Chain A
Amino acid sequence: MKKQSNQLSNLLLAAMVALVLVLSSCGKANQGPTSGALSGNAASKVYVAPGQYDEFYAFMSGGFSGQIAAYGLPSGRLLKVIPVFSVDPEKGYGFNEETKPLLNTSHGFIPWDDAHHPALSQTNGETDGRWIFINGNNTPRLARIDLSTFETAEILEIPNSGGNHSSPYLTQNTEYVVAGTRFSVPIPQKDVAISSYAENFKGALSFVKVEPTTGRMNIEFQVLMPGLNFDLASSGKGPSHGWTFFTSYNSEMKNSLLEVNASQNDKDFVAAVNWKKAEEYLKAGKAKDFPANYMHNVYSDETHTATSTAMKSVKVLIPSECPGLVYLLPTPKSPHGVDVDPTGEYIVCSGKLSADITAHSFPKMLKAIEDKAFDGDISGVPIIKFESVLGGTVKEPGLGPLHTEFDGKGNAYTSFFISSEIVKWKVGTWEVIDRQPTYYSIGHLMVPGGNSMKPEGKYVVALNKITKDRYLPTGPELTQSAQLYAIDGDKMELLLDFPTIGEPHYAQGISAEKIKPKSKQFFKLSENKHPYVTPTEKDAKVVREGNNVHVYMTMIRSHFMPDNIEGFKVGDKVYFHVTNLEQDFDVPHGFAVMGATNAELLIMPGQTETLVWEPKKEGVFPLYCTDFCSALHQEMQGYARVSPAGSATALKWWLGDEKPVQ
């Protein structure tokens, strides 16, 4: 009996092997890619051998984490979480004295935001690897991250905005990053009845000029639009360079139960802003100075410190007084994503409640403006006739189109939230070529350079809102995820799933070679202009100024100088200004002191950072290096003695057998 069952199972096994062989040879004969399921060589396409580098950097927005995560593609390996709008105790970001000013706003210090859309700087319509910008949605802000340091270099608050969502979507030479408000609000802000929406609420579209060498941002002007909800944006390229297109919903101008009330009109609008025209109006003195309160925060790599400056006014252009500045393009059903194709000819709009994808034609738009093919206006902004601007329609490609990226070979890739898929279609012929499911509910998608004039169309990354059963469960809160598809063949091929931080909205990708050679290894100590730098161990000291005590401390493998300090008192405010004297690649040191109510310091070679410590109790408290730096890292420690308030303990400090200094 036993023997028989063995024979039977052997037979079954043989049959299965034969079947597999037959199937695999069929596959070879057809040369057809598999749909949905992974094909056999997917693993090798994402395998980056130990010690090898990824081909692309991907910068994923962290969504409600407020940060940006840098990944390698195709491996999906997380390289760094760059703190932007949210504090990060791991790096001391927002906790040390140097970075606190970056998170300052007109509402005071804010430790969090919701970061949605990263935008790599571009030159001649191509990503250049200098900076990446990202919007802060909740308390309207724009941030610039320096890609030589992967650190936040600047945060600019956007006044007259109710939520910075249609942003940054920069222009082809990074002339401007834009910042359109998602929520219209009274401008200037005032105490009015919410039901006076139609009368009092306006939507500001801000154009933030970027200084070409330093990257410094400055609000050049705002366009005061009617009370629509501006959703996303895309700046023109090539022939359409000089224009920026903003989608909007709520043309009904409702202020409650928007899911119903803002979904009634057949068409909403894309606002086309001619920013070159705006520059002319600005020169002609047509802009009004509106009082405004907003903060401009800039970090310096020389002082290793950020400064926060209060700004008091902003220049505003009013469309009814500036003919030719803005036009409205009717677009079916609450358009969400708007994406100008690499040729600059088509403006692809995804009506998220529409079954179709609508592409407006830029040349047709110019013609319609010339012919005055208008269909009325809203608050003096002309509405162009839908038929006069329509360039083409992708008929019923799926449900819930959101965003479109391009591969530079004439193909477009649109994400469909409701039908949870990516649809590949041809620009110009509007035919659907391929579709692949996503797991699940894709929001944005990203092709490296896919929003620029020169896409690097090798992969598309799906940024999904829901993962359900795709990963090991982690309680009620599950990870969100990215999915990588190869797009270098005719058919898209799913290669890899990987988790993301926060909730990924948009992302950007770029050839690693555009960033890697410029990546800073460490800061030169000789160029450190921090006001509290301690350039050598000989300069270490402790200075009391009333209740404030400034400790000028150094760190080097494997000790602090000084490492023993006496003479602190309860009630003191102690500033540990710690300078990392190392001048080598990858030798950061950390600094932590017991009872500190903020965080650690994580100090890069050549950098100075400051931790404030307010000892509440007398005693002797250890301090130590938190970043495993060397064979004697564990010995990198010291003591701070705290005496009662008003005691006579002298201030003194030392290292090793040296005589204490006092």
Chain B
Amino acid sequence: MISGISIYHILTLTTILFFIGIYGFITRKNLIAILISIELILNASVVNFVIFNTYLYPDMLQGVFFSIFIIAIAAAESALAVSIIVSFYRMLASVDVKDTETLKY
């Protein structure tokens, strides 16, 4: 708990961070840049977990565990995403989103 900072402040910060991530996810044209946006989104939610745990239920540790798990999964996910991007680049010599649009009608 930070003195003088209520839960609302922190939630405002994470909300803004989350939607910056969303904005990046929608507007970026590059797969790695999209991956970066996803990292922002994930971090925003991790902070939320921790903040709820600290401010509302300090006796329990669930929030902490979930944030640990999320970090682990985020790391795994980025490793996988990077390998997919590398493989994709090897096939098409590109990491652009527009080249992935083969799953349409």
A binds B: no
B residues with a Cβ closer than 8 A to A are: none
